[in-house]
């Protein structure tokens, strides 16, 4: 339902903008002033779509809406502020808040004694885990790379891997009998889930949580 709503709003907005350009080019209606003075509304609309598509990203949706609002006020000469001077410091603050919120959520799932921590800072770290009762891991990659091979590990019911990638990369190899659920927040980064689990009823679940900032996470079998 959320995907349909965001698609509908996006499609309608594109059609509306295209219609305005067409009407202007055919000299039906002069929309030049409208488009030049109100184009930041498109950025505000993008923030609303981000929120509708995933309410967990409300901080980023609010940032985009706020940036669009400041830009709109500047275009209308209501304020004399450079939006970019405000955007980047606020974006950095939002990154910090997002990391804190996700860490709090992670601690509720797996205790420190039940997980193994893997860290790579300005370097690489390649580990294999063949635990017969894998419950979770915490992976940190800062300008470095981490590979965690779990293809021989056993997840009985569920497990959680909390990731934090800052200008770094993380590769996770998972067993085929595991269902992967991605719950990460990607901030100028990406998470690619290539895992293709065997279709089994009641299959164990592996949750991937955390933050990916200017980095990438790859999950595969």
- Structural domain boundaries of the chain? 2-81, 113-220
Q: What is the mean pLDDT of the chain?
A: 81
Each residue's pLDDT tens digit, 102-142: 654 444 455 555 567 888 888 889 999 888 888 888 899 98
Helix ranges (H only) for 26-119 are: 32-38, 41-53, 58-75, 83-107
Residue 217's pLDDT is 92
Instruction: Please check whether residue 148 is in contact with residue 125, taking contact to mean a CB–CB distance below 8 angstroms.
Output: no
Residue 6's pLDDT is 65
Alpha-carbon gap, residue 59 to 32, rounded angstroms: 33
Burial of 188 (0-12, 13-18, 19+ CB in 10 A): exposed
Angle at 162 between CA 156 and CA 164, to 5 degrees: 155
Each residue's pLDDT tens digit, 151-171: 888 888 889 998 888 889 999
Residue 95's pLDDT is 74
Residue 103's pLDDT is 55
Residues in the chain, pLDDT under 70 = 1-4, 6, 54, 99, 102-115, 197-201
Residue 169's pLDDT is 92
Give the chain's length. 221
Residues 6+ apart with CB under 8 A from 28: none
Residue 112's pLDDT is 56
């Amino acid at each position: 339902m959320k995907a349909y709503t965001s698609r509908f709003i996006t499609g309608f907005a594109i059609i509306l903008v295209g219609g305005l350009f067409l009407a202007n080019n055919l000299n039906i209606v002069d929309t030049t002033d409208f488009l030049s003075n109100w184009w930041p509304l498109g950025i505000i609309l993008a923030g609303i779509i981000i929120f509708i598509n995933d309410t967990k990203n409300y901080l980023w949706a609010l940032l985009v809406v706020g940036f669009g609002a400041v830009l709109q006020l500047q275009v209308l000469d209501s304020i004399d502020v450079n939006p970019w001077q405000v955007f980047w410091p606020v974006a950095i603050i939002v990154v910090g808040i997002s990391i804190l919120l996700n860490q709090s959520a992670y601690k509720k799932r797996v205790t420190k004694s039940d997980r193994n921590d893997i860290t790579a800072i300005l370097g690489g770290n390649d580990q294999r885990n063949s635990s017969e009762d894998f419950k979770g891991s915490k992976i940190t990659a800062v300008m470095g790379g981490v590979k965690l091979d779990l293809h021989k590990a056993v997840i009985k019911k569920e497990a959680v891997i909390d990731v934090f990638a800052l200008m770094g990369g993380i590769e996770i190899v998972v067993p085929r009998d595991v269902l992967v659920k991605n719950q990460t927040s990607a901030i100028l980064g990406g998470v690619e889930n290539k895992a293709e689990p065997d279709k089994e009823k009641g299959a164990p679940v592996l949750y991937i949580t955390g933050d990916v900032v200017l980095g990438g996470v790859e999950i595969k079998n």
